[in-house]
Amino acid sequence: MSREPEVISAGEKTEKEGRVIKTRIMKAVGKMPDDREVMELSADIIKNGGLVAIPTETVYGLAGNALDPKASGKIYKAKGRPSDNPLIVHIADIKDLKVLSPDIPENAYKLAEKFWPGPLTMILNKSEIVPKATTGGLDTVAVRMPSNEIAREFIRACGGFIAAPSANTSGRPSCTTALHVKEDLDGRIELIIDGGDVGIGLESTIIDLTGAVPCLLRPGYISLEELISVVKNVDVDPVIAGKESRMPPKAPGMKYRHYAPRGELTIISGEREKVISYINEKTARAKKDGIKAAVLACSENRACYDSALVYDAGSIYNEEEIAHNLFSVLRRFDEEGVQLIYSEEFNTPNIGMAIMNRLIKAAGNKIIKV
């Protein structure tokens, strides 16, 4: 069964070299033969060095051929991403892992067995075939096998090796819907595959397996405890552990301000009552001064705030809901033109480390203890 491609968007922008890119949006459902047409078009674009945004279970990714340095160059350009911030290579079949790395440690297979396909990225030594343009100049490569069916179908259709960083412009919150991708990349890429709202909403957990002891470089949906249950001993990069460190983070991307709304975001930390009264004081003052201020809170506390603009991230007892909503709420502050944002902390039991890692980066480390 073949369908007319659904072209919702036809954004046009003139690139420096004068080329015009039309960005199409096509829906996919994650099964053949319904997706045949979108997969054939995708394969065509990717094999010709172009870019396609795809849904994954974490966030939307901006995909290009991982083995083509020119395609990687285009990804950096479309995102405005610093060229020392390496891309994650996505595969659809475990047998393809050995193409990317010459010396895969036993731990990689153990972790893959438990968490792949899924939201875990592993850092391995890279093989010759992986261009340094994809790894930001490093001799290591980040690899993930997503569980999203559309993503895996896409990777297979496009030859098996797809570089795909998050599909936002650099610095902005990651995209959890096709519409977010359109906001950021319309006119810069050939196609957006709309697979609906993503499931998890936070980027993958990253673990480095190139050292003597595995090291957590970025917290994500798969928690430190889950990793330890498989590989016993896991170090945590001091930068994400919140420790002062003169060393740069091992995941180069973690040194950049990220996920940030345009308004100034501050996290308020402390006992519930004190946090609420501090934020109420601040938003009242902002109102007097004619500044548009908003609050990011859990649903349980929502009614405690006087501000007209209170955004609910979800129930504090439902951390999956908070993770899922975080980036789209950060984007909504921009839509409303909010200038000042005060956020509660979301120290939930399992993915709280990942949620707070993103929120603290979005706040540029601004935390006030009350």
- Residues within the interface to ligand AMP (CB under 6 A): 85-86, 88, 123, 135, 138, 140-142, 165-166, 203, 206, 217-218, 250-254
Cβ closest to Mg ion, residue 121 vs residue 166 = 166
CA 252 to the chain's CA centroid = 15
166 part of the interface to Mg ion, by CB under 5 A: yes
148 part of the interface to Mg ion, by CB under 5 A: no
Count of residues that interact with Mg ion, criterion CB under 5 A:
1
Cβ closest to ligand AMP, residue 27 vs residue 188 = 188
Give the Cα separation of 325 and 314 in Å (integer): 7
Q: How far is the CB of 274 from ligand AMP (least distance, A)?
A: 34
The two structure tokens encoding residue 34 = 């319904």
Cβ closest to Mg ion, residue 65 vs residue 166 = 166
Q: How far is the CB of 235 from ligand AMP (least distance, A)?
A: 14
Q: How far is the CB of 175 from ligand AMP (least distance, A)?
A: 11
Q: How far is the CB of 200 from Mg ion (least distance, A)?
A: 14
Concatenate the DSSP letters of all residues of 202-268 into one string.
Answer: SPPEEEE-SSSS-EEEE--SS-HHHHHHHHS--EE-TTTTT---SSPPSSGGGGS--S--SSEEEEE
Cβ closest to ligand AMP, residue 85 vs residue 350 = 85
Helix (H, G, I), strand (E, B) or coil at 304: helix
Cβ closest to ligand AMP, residue 141 vs residue 363 = 141
Q: How far is the CB of 339 from ligand AMP (least distance, A)?
A: 27
Check: CB of residue 112 under 8 Å from CB of residue 145. Answer: yes
Binding partner of residue 353 among ligand AMP, Mg ion, none, CB under 5 to 8 Å per kind? none
- Please, what is the Cα angle at 243 between 238 and 245, to 5 degrees? 70
CA 76 to the chain's CA centroid = 15
CA 95 to the chain's CA centroid = 25
CA 85 to the chain's CA centroid = 14
Cβ closest to ligand AMP, residue 83 vs residue 277 = 83
Cβ closest to Mg ion, residue 118 vs residue 231 = 118
Binding partner of residue 230 among Mg ion, ligand AMP, none, CB under 5 to 8 Å per kind? none
Binding partner of residue 172 among ligand AMP, Mg ion, none, CB under 5 to 8 Å per kind? none
Burial of 346 (0-12, 13-18, 19+ CB in 10 A): buried
Binding partner of residue 118 among ligand AMP, Mg ion, none, CB under 5 to 8 Å per kind? none
Strands of the sheet containing 235-236, edge to edge, are 11-14, 20-27, 191-194, 52-54, 61-65, 162-163, 88-90, 140-144, 120-125, 205-208, 215-218, 235-236
Cβ closest to ligand AMP, residue 175 vs residue 297 = 175
Q: How far is the CB of 352 from ligand AMP (least distance, A)?
A: 19
Binding partner of residue 50 among ligand AMP, Mg ion, none, CB under 5 to 8 Å per kind? none
Binding partner of residue 206 among Mg ion, ligand AMP, none, CB under 5 to 8 Å per kind? ligand AMP
Give the Cα separation of 248 and 138 in Å (integer): 14
CB burial of 305-323 (b: ≥16 within 10 Å; e: otherwise) equals bebebbbbbbebeebbbbb
357 part of the interface to Mg ion, by CB under 5 A: no
Give the Cα separation of 129 and 99 in Å (integer): 8
Residue with the closest Cβ to ligand AMP?
253
Q: How far is the CB of 236 from ligand AMP (least distance, A)?
A: 14
Residue ranges binding Mg ion (CB under 5 A): 166
